[in-house]
C-alpha cells in the first residue's frame, strides 16, 4: 500500500474504534459506532482499496480528477468513494479526504454523542 501511514492516522482521531470484518476482509474505522473509513484487502491479502465517505458533489469532483478514485466499493455510490491503495492520489488529498469523512460522519451523530466522542 502506498499510504502505510493511513492506519495510524485514522486510528488516532478522537473517539475512533477499529475492527476487522473477516467475511469482508475490511479493517473498519468507526466513530460513535458509525463507519467513516475502511481499508479493504484484495484476493492476495494485500491492502487494495481505501473507502471514505464524502459529500456527493465533492466525491464526483474527485472521481473526475483522479482515475484512482472510484465509486464506493460495495457501498452507496453517491456518498462513498474508494481509492486504489497503490494509486497515484497525493498523500495530502488522501489525508484531506480522510478528515472530511471523519467530520462528516461525526457531524451526523446526535449532539450528545458528538460531545461524548470529543470528550466534552
Percent of the chain with pLDDT over 70: 100
Please give the span between the terminal C-alpha atoms of the chain, in angstroms, as a whole number. Answer: 36
0.85 surpassed by pTM: yes
71: exposed, middle or buried (Cβ count in 10 Å: 0-12, 13-18, 19+): middle
Q: Which residue ranges form the domains of the chain, and what is each CATH number?
A: 6-118 (3.90.1150.30)
Q: 97, 54 in Cβ contact below 8 A? A: yes
76 has pLDDT over 80: no
Radius of gyration, CA atoms only, the chain: 14
Amino acid at each position: 500500500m502506498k499510504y502505510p501511514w493511513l492506519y495510524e492516522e485514522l486510528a488516532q482521531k478522537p473517539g475512533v474504534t477499529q475492527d476487522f470484518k473477516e467475511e469482508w476482509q475490511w479493517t473498519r474505522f468507526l466513530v460513535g459506532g458509525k463507519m467513516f473509513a475502511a481499508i479493504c484487502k484484495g484476493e492476495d491479502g494485500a491492502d487494495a482499496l481505501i473507502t471514505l465517505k464524502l459529500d456527493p458533489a465533492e466525491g464526483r469532483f474527485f472521481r473526475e480528477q483522479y482515475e484512482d478514485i472510484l465509486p464506493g466499493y460495495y457501498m452507496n455510490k453517491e456518498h462513498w468513494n474508494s481509492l486504489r491503495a497503490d494509486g497515484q492520489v497525493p498523500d495530502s488529498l488522501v489525508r484531506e479526504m480522510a478528515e472530511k469523512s471523519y467530520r462528516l460522519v461525526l457531524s451526523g451523530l446526535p449532539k450528545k454523542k458528538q460531545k461524548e466522542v470529543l470528550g466534552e
